[in-house]
Structure 1
Amino acid sequence: MARIAVIGAGMGALAAAARLAVAGHRVAVYERTDTYGGAVRRWERDGFSFDTGPGLLPLPAVYRDLFLKTGKEPLEDRVELVQVDPSARHLFADGTGAALPNASRAGVVAALDEALGAGAGGRWGDFLVRAREAWDRSRRPLLEEPLWPNWRVLAEREPYPAVPHKRLLRTRRAGTLAEVAAWELRDPRLAALLESHALAYGLDPRTAPASAALLPYLDHAFGTWYVRGGLRELARAVYERCAARRVEFVFGAEVTRVLEKDGRAAGVELSGGAVAEADFVVAGVAPRTLERMVTGTAVRDGAGEVEPQHGLPSRLTVLLALRGGRPEGTAHRTVVHTRDREAELDAVFGTPPGTVAHPTVTVLRPDDPALVPDTGHEAVTLTATVPAGTAPDHGPLAEAMITAAERAVPGLRERLLWHEVRTPADVAEATGAVGGAIPAPALAAAGGRLLHPSNTTGVPGLFTVGGWSHPGGGLPHAGMSGALVAGLIVEGPEFRGSQ
Structure 2
Amino acid sequence: MVIGAGMGAMTAAARLAVAGHRVVVHECAETYGGALGRVERDGFAFDTGPALLHLPAVYRDLFVKTGKQPLEDCVELSQVEPAVRHVFADGTAVDLPNASRAGVAEALDAALGPGAGARWSAFMNRAREAWDRTRRPLLEEPLWPNWQVLAEREPYPAVAERRLFRRERRAATLAEIGAYELGGEPRLCALLEHFALAHGLDPRTAPASAAVLPYLEQTFGTWSVRGGLRALAAAVYERCLARRVEFAFGSAVTRIAVKDGGAAGVELADGTVVDADFVVAGVAPGVLERLLPGERVRAEGEVPAQGGPGGPGRPSRLTVLLALRGARPEGTPHRTVVHAPDRDAELNRLFDAPGAGTAPPAVTVLRPDDATVVPDAGHEAVTLTATVPAYAGGPDGAARDAFAAQAEQMIARAERAVPGLRDRLLWHEVRTPVDVAEATGADGGAVPAPALAAADGRLLHPANSTSLRGLFAVGGWAHPGGGLPHAGMSGTLAAGLIVEGPEFRGSQ
**Partners of 1:465 and 1:355 in 2: CA distance:** 36
Is the Cα–Cα contact under 8 Å of residues 320 and 431 in structure 2 kept in the other structure? yes
> CA contact under 8 A between 1:306 and 1:454: conserved in structure 2?
no
Cα deviation digits, residues 419-450 of structure 1 (max 9, x gap): 11111111111111111110000000000000
Deviation at 1:351, TM superposition (A): 4.4
Partner of 1:173: 170
Q: Which amino acid aligns with 2:412?
A: T
RMSD: 1.1
Alignment of 1:128-143 (within 5 A): 128-143=124-139
Q: Which of 261, 271, 279 is the aligned partner of 2:259?
A: 261
User: Tell me, what secondary structure is at the counterpart of 2:297?
Assistant: coil
What residue identity is the alignment partner of 1:21?
A
Hey, what does 2:363 align to over in structure 1? 361
Given that residues 328 and 369 in structure 2 are in contact (C-alpha distance below 8 angstroms), is that contact kept between their aligned partners in structure 1? yes
* Superposition misfits of 4+ residues, deviation over 4 angstroms: none
1:53-108 alpha-carbon deviations (Å, 9 max, x no partner): 00100000000000000001000000000100101000000110100000001100
What is the CA–CA distance in structure 2 between the aligned matches of 1:424 and 1:305, rounded to whole Å?
26
- Specify which of 222, 231, 251 is matched with residue 233 of structure 1: 231
Corresponding residue for residue 49 of structure 1: 45
Task: Tell me, yes or no, if structure 1 residue 401 matches structure 2 residue 410.
Answer: yes
CA contact (8 A) 2:306 2:313 kept: no
The 2-side partners of 1:214 and 1:75 are apart by 26
Contact (CA 8 Å) 1:317, 1:421: kept in 2 or not?
A: yes
**SS of the residue aligned with 1:395?**
helix
Matched letter for residue 423 of structure 1? T
Counterpart of 2:96 in structure 1 is: 100
What's the counterpart of residue 372 of structure 2? 370
The correspondence for 1:149, drawn from 125, 145, 148, is: 145
Aligned to 1:495: 504
Cα deviations across residues 118-148 of structure 1 (Å, max 9, x unaligned)? 0001111111111111000110011110000
The answer on whether the counterparts of 2:305 and 2:477 sit within 8 Å (CA) in structure 1 is no
Paired residue for 1:271? Answer: 269
TM-score by length of 1: 0.98
Deviations 1:7-54 (A, max 9, x none): 111110000000000000010111111111111011011101111100
Counterpart amino acid of 1:179? Answer: E
**Residue of structure 1 in register with 2:434 after alignment:** 425
The match for 1:300 is 298
AA aligned to 1:438 is V
In the superposition, the TM-score normalised over structure 2's length comes to 0.96
Is residue 2:330 matched to residue 1:334?
A: no
Q: Percent identity?
A: 73
Structure 1 counterpart of 2:70, one-letter code: P
1:387 maps to 2:389: yes
Match of 1:459 in 2: 468
Shift of residue 253, structure 1, vs aligned partner: 1.1
Q: Give 1:34's aligned residue.
A: 30
Equivalents in 1 of 2:255, 2:352: separation in Å? 35
Aligned with residue 185 of structure 1, among 182, 185, 196: 182
Report if the CA contact (8 A) 2:400-2:432 is conserved: no
1:61 aligns with 2:60: no
Preserved CA contact (<8 Å) 2:303 2:457: no
Secondary structure at the aligned position of 2:23 is classed as: strand
Q: Is the 8 A contact 1:199 1:385 kept in 2?
A: yes
Deviations 1:372-396 (A, max 9, x none): 0100000000000001115251121
Deviations 1:334-383 (A, max 9, x none): 00000111111111112454245310000000000001010000000000
Aligned equivalents of 1:345, 1:327: Cα separation in 2:
33
DSSP-derived class of the 1:185 partner: coil
Quote the offset at 1:304 in angstroms: 3.7
In the other structure, the counterpart of 1:349 is 351
CA distance in 1, matches of 2:368, 2:162: 45
Aligned to 2:15: 19
Q: Which runs of 5+ in 1 are unaligned?
A: none
The 2-side partners of 1:270 and 1:205 are apart by 42
The residue type paired with residue 382 of structure 2 is: V
User: Which residue identity is paired with 1:63?
Assistant: Y
Q: What do the CA deviations read for 1:465-492 (whole angstroms, capped 9, x no partner)? A: 0100000000000000010000000000
Distance 1:93 1:392 in 2: 28
Partner AA of 1:362 in structure 2: T
Please say if residues 285 and 305 of structure 2, whose CA atoms lie closer than 8 Å, have aligned partners that are also in contact.
no
Residues 303, 460 of structure 2: 8 Å contact kept:
no
Secondary structure in 1 matching 2:181 = helix
- Count of matched residue pairs: 495
Aligned to 1:282: 280
Match of 2:318 among 316, 322, 336: 316
For 2:431 and 2:494, locate their aligned partners in 1 and report how far apart those are by CA, in whole Å: 32
Partner amino acid, structure 2, of 1:142: L
Deviations 1:256-309 (A, max 9, x none): 111011111000001111111000000010111101111332000113444434
Gaps of 5+ in 2: 394-398
